[in-house]
Amino acid sequence: GAGVSQSPSNKVTEKGKDVELRCDPISGHTALYWYRQSLGQGLEFLIYFQGNSAPDKSGLPSDRFSAERTGGSVSTLTIQRTQQEDSAVYLCASSSRGDGSVETQYFGPGTRLLVL
């Protein structure tokens, strides 16, 4: 079946603009994750959604970052007033459940964000 998809694949924006990144998880997966991959920082967890539970936002680096998941499926990560340090690859992953075992997370290809 189809894997995790993300759009856009690349995004160039100017400092101070807002951006929205989209993630379509694998159909039927109840858990969805956002990670950020920066040069020199490795992969950092940002936010985790599980079903209808309140999301775990503990990894969001500032209040300029927010995410939502509509209808338990598609998720949008929004970065407001972008800064140059926000330049990174934003990876989305989904798994079949995350409420009692550690299921494999399947990753999308990522959105490469460049803030000028």
Partner 1 sequence: AQSVTQLGSHVSVSEGALVLLRCNYSSSVPPYLFWYVQYPNQGLQLLLKYTSAATLVKGINGFEAEFKKSETSFHLTKPSAHMSDAAEYFCAVGNTGFQKLVFGTGTRLLVSP
Question: How many residues make up the chain in this entry?
Answer: 116
Cβ count near 74 (within 10 Å): 14
Establish if 109 lies at the interface with partner 1 (CB under 8 A).
Answer: yes
Over the window 18 to 47, marking each residue x when it contacts partner 1 by CB under 8 A and - when it does not, the resulting string is -------------x-x-x------xx-x--
In the complex with partner 1, the residue whose CB is nearer, 52 or 104, is 104
**CA dist 35 → 1, 15, 101 (Å):** 23, 21, 20
Establish if 65 lies at the interface with partner 1 (CB under 8 A).
Answer: no
Establish if 106 lies at the interface with partner 1 (CB under 8 A).
Answer: yes
Peptide bond into 61 cis (omega under 30): no
* Burial grade of 40 (CB within 10 A; 0-12, 13-18, 19 or more): exposed
In the complex with partner 1, the residue whose CB is nearer, 75 or 105, is 105
Binding stretches for partner 1 (CB under 8 A): 4, 31, 33, 35, 42-43, 45, 48, 50, 56, 59, 91, 93, 98, 100-102, 104-110
